[in-house]
Chain A
């Protein structure tokens, strides 16, 4: 048998890794981030990461934190796979010695990392995990987005009061905790207030299913007044297109997962006149929003989707907390984070409540060609 050269080379590299994996220069403040940069949900992870990086650049360009110390974002990819966040976050905390962790968009992956951050007493800020259970994992776990019960209620209210839709069909993504949560809370409120769910169907999201004709044909036969599609834009665009071809003319309703320029790109004009709730409107004239959109476009040459401003806000709120705490000590930063009140973020005025969730208003937008028209803002 020839000598196994490869293992010995790898061993050498491993030693190099152990040596080079020391903490960052004392000057820098290391902030960890775990995100789905590759794999089936990479498009969300990359967008929120873009937001985080943009915020970090901005902080560093305006002199850094705590007397000129620069923020260094250490990003770990979790490949959109369960099992990965635990290793990634343990690396961030133990090898990179980060003082706080930002992540994830998907609640299922936040749920995996949250207990680890809690045990290590490292504050974790989720930009976009809307499932209520995430922050229940401990007092070091925060989020800067609203939660499913709120968003589901907003859309149910909108369907009842504004659209006067008496019968709604629900088409949700069975593989996504986000989609299941949103449809659950939508259904609860909608039924309690006199609405009728005429049919429920589901599909497999994150790029798996591309053909929704079977579900849509069944939905068409049930003759709903509107269809609630709590999924991501990767599917919602196609669902819209196929619904129109099948002759389903009723409006489709969605949540913040729809929020991306890709939606209209894929759907063409088939979703015109449909509504979704989200965190912010890129067309909002507020200077904070316009400023963000301009900077984002300058850096990434594309329009931000719904995840980008959330990543940006998470980083900014964290930086603000470090500044106020005057230290990078996890416990002190946590205490400041718990007291955030009326923070003026891109995605609205954020107040962290007793359950460490952000309370802020949602906006309802109407899809209209490439632009989304602002319809209403709903306070919590």
Chain B
């Protein structure tokens, strides 16, 4: 079979035209290429997952789409851009990994602070209002961060400094696995575990779940809503900040509008997995990352922007509450 296919490919070298249907031929892709794309896809998904986790946490507690989340991701990347040249010289040689952690944690702290401030100033006064009102404020905050960023940092792309030199690992044969990909997958897995621990095993997590279930009852039981919501926003924003830096290490060109698309994709991932569900967000993100990568590598690459949405629509048709979400019965 493989031989026939390779013959076919040679005899029709320029068939990648308008109709593009040859792409569906089996065996158009070698094993190496397949696994390489899988690696690419999973690591792309890991980035989406980091952003999606923040989305889904905020949604779980407040039930509203924090449109500005993708822009906090952008601020995280810019924080890394400013902090690296200031902090890294203090960590020469073997201390480098410590320096990287310091930069990452400082940027995460900055983003957490930003998230808490945004919630306090823009969302808290509207908490008793319909969610759509808050959504418009969130869109306003998002535009403010994007275009304020263009005003302050300039709209041109900035080259992200070599916080970690991104290079391919040795000994993987024909496959290319880079350091940043390993780090992204590792960090995402670790943070997912940590978050699950916080939500399921700690007192604050219990409060978060209570709040998510029924805010009024939770408040009556002595849960301090403001603290829990602030904490959730801080945590979600810190995740977005971490994602921003990791993303920038992997794709070292940052600009103030860089958060829009990953933000939307991550939101799609969160909905796909069942919004409010942490493992769901991760599963959804990896699924989107992999499908997007395979389409990007196929001759349908010009439709890549629409793929995440097509997957979402198809899956929601069959599972209206997302992959791992529970369908909620509306109470009368």
Contacts and interface: CB of A to CB of B under 8 A. Distances in A.
Interface of A: 38-40, 42-43, 46, 174, 191, 196-204, 207-215, 217-218, 220-221, 234, 237-238, 241-242, 245-247, 262, 265-266
A271 to B, nearest CB: 13
B279 interface: no
B196 interface: no
A373 to B, nearest CB: 21
A33 to B, nearest CB: 17
A202 B251 contact: no
Contacts of B176: 245-247
A262 B13 CA distance: 36
Given A217-B36, A234-B255, A197 B157 contact: no
6 contacts: A210-B258, A214-B304, A215-B296, A217-B36, A242-B251, A266-B157
A214 B247 contact: no
B39 to A, nearest CB: 9
B41 A42 contact: no
Contacts of B305: 204, 208
B41 A214 contact: yes
Contacts of B292: 214
Given A210-B258, A213-B293, A174 B302 contact: yes
Interface in B272-313: 292-299, 301-302, 304-305
Contacts of A199: 16
Interface in B29-75: 29-30, 32-33, 36-37, 40-41, 44
B91 interface: no
Contact of B33 (A43, A209, A218): A218
A218 B147 contact: no
Interface string B229-262: 0000000000000000001001111010110110
Contacts of B295: 214
B167 interface: yes
B168 interface: yes
B181 to A, nearest CB: 9
Contacts of B247: 210
A368 B205 CA distance: 54
Contact of B155 (A46, A209, A217, A242): A46
B16 A200 contact: yes
A246 B304 CA distance: 20
Nearest to A241: B252
Interface of B: 13-14, 16, 29-30, 32-33, 36-37, 40-41, 44, 147, 150, 154-157, 159, 166-168, 176, 178, 247, 250-253, 255, 257-258, 260-261, 292-299, 301-302, 304-305
A217 B297 contact: yes
A238 B255 CA distance: 13
A214 B293 contact: yes
A262 B159 CA distance: 8
Contact of B159 (A208, A215, A221, A266): A266
A241 B162 CA distance: 13
Contact of A208 (B32, B253, B261): B261
Nearest to A206: B257
A119 to B, nearest CB: 32
B14 A245 contact: no
A265 B294 contact: no
A214 B296 contact: yes
Contacts of B299: 200-201
Contacts of B294: 214
A266 B252 contact: yes
B325 to A, nearest CB: 27
A374 B260 CA distance: 38
B247 to A, nearest CB: 7
A242 B159 CA distance: 14
Of A198, A211, A247, the most chain B CB neighbours within 10 A belong to A211
Contact of A198 (B13, B30, B33, B155): B13
A38 B304 CA distance: 26
Contact of B252 (A38, A196, A238): A238
Contact of A217 (B40, B159, B253): B40
Contact of A43 (B41, B156, B296): B156
A214 B297 contact: yes
Contact of A245 (B41, B150, B178, B297): B178
Contacts of B166: 245
Contacts of A174: 301-302
Nearest to A171: B301
Nearest to B151: A38
Of B37, B294, B301, the most chain A CB neighbours within 10 A belong to B301
A203 B159 contact: no
A215 B252 contact: no
Contacts of B41: 214
B122 to A, nearest CB: 19
B37 A217 contact: yes
Contacts of A241: 252
B21 to A, nearest CB: 15
A211 B41 CA distance: 10
Contacts of B29: 221
Contact of B296 (A191, A201, A208, A234): A201
Nearest to B178: A245
Interchain residue pairs A-B with the least CB separation, the first 4? A214-B296, A42-B155, A218-B297, A210-B251
A238 B251 contact: yes
Given A46-B155, A201-B296, A196 B13 contact: yes
Contacts of B253: 210, 234, 237-238, 266
B168 A247 contact: yes
Contacts of B258: 207, 210
Contacts of A201: 296-297, 299, 301
B318 to A, nearest CB: 26
Given A43-B156, A245-B167, A207 B255 contact: yes
Given A39-B155, A201-B299, A214-B293, 16 more contacts: A43-B154, A46-B155, A46-B156, A197-B14, A200-B299, A202-B301, A208-B260, A208-B305, A214-B40, A217-B40, A218-B296, A221-B30, A237-B159, A246-B176, A262-B156, A266-B157
Contact of B304 (A203, A238, A247): A203
Contacts of A242: 251
Contacts of A46: 154-156
Of B33, B176, B253, B294, the most chain A CB neighbours within 10 A belong to B253
